[in-house]
Homo-oligomer: A and B are copies of this chain.
Amino acid sequence: MLTGGPSSNGGVNRGRFLTPDVVVVGAGVVGLAIAWRCAARGLRVSVHDPAPGSGASHVAAGMLAPVAEAYFGERELTGLLTESASRWPGFAAELAEATGVDIGYRTEGTLVVGLTADDLTEARRLWAYQLGLGLPVTPLRPSQLREREPALAPRVRGGALAATDHQVDPRRLVAALRIAAELAGAVLVTEPVRRLRDVPAGVTVVAAGCGAAALTGLPVRPVKGQVLRLRTPDGRPPGFRHVVRGYADGEHVYLVPRDSGEVVVGATVEERSDLVVCAGAVLRLLRAAVDLVPELAEYDLVETLAGLRPGTPDNAPILGPLPGRPDVLVATGHHRHGIVLTPVTADLIAGLVTGDGADSLLASFRPDRFTAASGAGPPASGGVASVPAVGSGARTTSEQAMEDDSWN
């Protein structure tokens, strides 16, 4: 089944019956943004996905948090997050202009808080690291914290402001990107792609999230996340405006308030591939949320959901040509960072498609970095050796790295 966009380019009905220049596999935020960018450059684009926007994009909370997500040992990733976050204001404005859709882009910033003295100690250690990188994180006195968010529990011991860590509503983002891509001439094909050799295109872009593993052999694995959606009983906006990220008795939790009254509470990070919602996870998320912002106990619980993030051995995305297949570009492995990384990913991949040459930003994220014998050295480049399967030796370092990140 083909869903054609309007023929916006010179009245020519492109894409419906012609072989596309670019086939994008996957209509999550990353795939749709790439399709938009490529179509806007005049390419014939089709996007294949049996259920557009139903993957990780549907579950994501939508934090744009390069600062709060800057973790030990992930400097290259932090650089890319920061770069992409800096593109978000322009990206959001361009998307709003193209579609008229309100994507819920909000710039109040993020409060990172610690409930107990131990939680605060842990948070401060990370803030010190982030400040060392020159990132804008501002420790606040408890009185300053409460002045900004009176809804925080009196027990909260301290916090910091990450003023440049913003948020967007991923479900609205999917809707807007789909409209933008179709308005630019991209065609959505609601059928799956099972093998790359079935794709009739000059260039294939694999933006299939966890599905990229089966298509490319790259070491992308599912990392399960469970998320809740609450809603104010009266439908009014929540009683707090910042994104709140917290440590609560050792549990990490984030709370993302939306104007609609919705609050997203997330998320577990689990090395599992099922989509089951688990009683213990819901209990821990709710307990941490209510510990930090007590009024959430009175909110409706409207959704419990699990999704699968595309994780990689080094927690960084995989962006660039598939080794040995220069006609296949990969854009996956965005893990917890798919929403914030959408603008830079779309720009970089569209640049590769149109032959602008590889941006230096891509150097650390090329697919061929996993072909190096050891993950300890600098990223390999240009290698076309065979791609290691999931579970190869390269994962040992990744599992180490995951431990800092994993709290479930």
Give A contacts to B, CB under 8 Å: 228, 230, 233, 276-280, 282-283, 286-287, 289-290, 296-302, 304
CB distance from A178 to the nearest CB of B (A): 31
Q: Could you tell me if B286 and A283 are in contact, using CB atoms closer than 8 angstroms?
A: yes
Q: What are 25 A-B contacts defined by CB distance under 8 Å?
A: A228-B279, A233-B276, A276-B300, A277-B300, A277-B301, A278-B297, A278-B299, A278-B301, A279-B289, A279-B290, A279-B297, A279-B298, A279-B299, A279-B300, A279-B301, A280-B290, A280-B296, A282-B282, A282-B301, A283-B283, A283-B287, A283-B290, A286-B286, A287-B287, A301-B304
Q: Could you tell me if B298 and A280 are in contact, using CB atoms closer than 8 angstroms?
A: yes
Measured between beta carbons, the chain B residues less than 8 angstroms from A277 are 300-302
Measured between beta carbons, the chain B residues less than 8 angstroms from A287 are 283, 287
In the assembly, what is the distance between CA of A278 and CA of B232, in Å?
Answer: 10
Q: Could you tell me if A298 and B278 are in contact, using CB atoms closer than 8 angstroms?
A: yes
In the assembly, what is the distance between CA of A298 and CA of B276, in Å?
Answer: 11
Measured between beta carbons, the chain B residues less than 8 angstroms from A290 are 279-280, 283
Q: Could you tell me if A283 and B297 are in contact, using CB atoms closer than 8 angstroms?
A: yes
CB distance from A246 to the nearest CB of B (A): 16
In the assembly, what is the distance between CA of A233 and CA of B301, in Å?
Answer: 22
Q: What 6 A-B pairs are tightest by C-beta distance, nearest first? A: A280-B297, A283-B286, A279-B301, A276-B300, A279-B299, A277-B301
With contact pairs A301-B304, A304-B301, A304-B304 given, residues A279 and B283 touching in the complex (Cβ less than 8 Å): no
Measured between beta carbons, the chain B residues less than 8 angstroms from A286 are 279, 282-283, 286
Look across to chain B and name the residue whose beta carbon is closest to the beta carbon of A287. B283
Give the oligomeric copy count.
Answer: 2
In the assembly, what is the distance between CA of A283 and CA of B253, in Å?
Answer: 15
In the assembly, what is the distance between CA of A299 and CA of B282, in Å?
Answer: 11
Look across to chain B and name the residue whose beta carbon is closest to the beta carbon of A280. B297
Measured between beta carbons, the chain B residues less than 8 angstroms from A276 are 233, 300
In the assembly, what is the distance between CA of A296 and CA of B304, in Å?
Answer: 17
Instruction: Name, among A278, A279, A282, the residue most crowded by chain B CB atoms within 10 Å (CB to CB).
Output: A279
Q: Could you tell me if A230 and B297 are in contact, using CB atoms closer than 8 angstroms?
A: no
Measured between beta carbons, the chain B residues less than 8 angstroms from A279 are 228, 230, 286, 289-290, 296-301
Look across to chain B and name the residue whose beta carbon is closest to the beta carbon of A289. B279
Measured between beta carbons, the chain B residues less than 8 angstroms from A233 are 276
In the assembly, what is the distance between CA of A300 and CA of B306, in Å?
Answer: 11
Look across to chain B and name the residue whose beta carbon is closest to the beta carbon of A299. B279
In the assembly, what is the distance between CA of A296 and CA of B283, in Å?
Answer: 11
Measured between beta carbons, the chain B residues less than 8 angstroms from A282 are 282, 286, 301
In the assembly, what is the distance between CA of A278 and CA of B228, in Å?
Answer: 12
CB distance from A337 to the nearest CB of B (A): 27
In the complex, given contacts A277-B300, A277-B301, A278-B297, what are 10 additional A-B residue pairs having Cβ atoms less than 8 angstroms apart?
Answer: A233-B276, A277-B302, A278-B299, A278-B301, A279-B296, A279-B297, A279-B299, A279-B301, A280-B290, A280-B298
Measured between beta carbons, the chain B residues less than 8 angstroms from A300 are 276-279
In the assembly, what is the distance between CA of A335 and CA of B296, in Å?
Answer: 29
CB distance from A56 to the nearest CB of B (A): 21
In the assembly, what is the distance between CA of A383 and CA of B290, in Å?
Answer: 51
CB distance from A286 to the nearest CB of B (A): 4
In the assembly, what is the distance between CA of A233 and CA of B296, in Å?
Answer: 29
Instruction: Name, among A276, A287, A289, the residue most crowded by chain B CB atoms within 10 Å (CB to CB).
Output: A276
In the assembly, what is the distance between CA of A403 and CA of B100, in Å?
Answer: 53
In the assembly, what is the distance between CA of A26 and CA of B210, in Å?
Answer: 49
CB distance from A229 to the nearest CB of B (A): 10
In the assembly, what is the distance between CA of A286 and CA of B277, in Å?
Answer: 13
In the assembly, what is the distance between CA of A279 and CA of B283, in Å?
Answer: 10
Look across to chain B and name the residue whose beta carbon is closest to the beta carbon of A304. B301
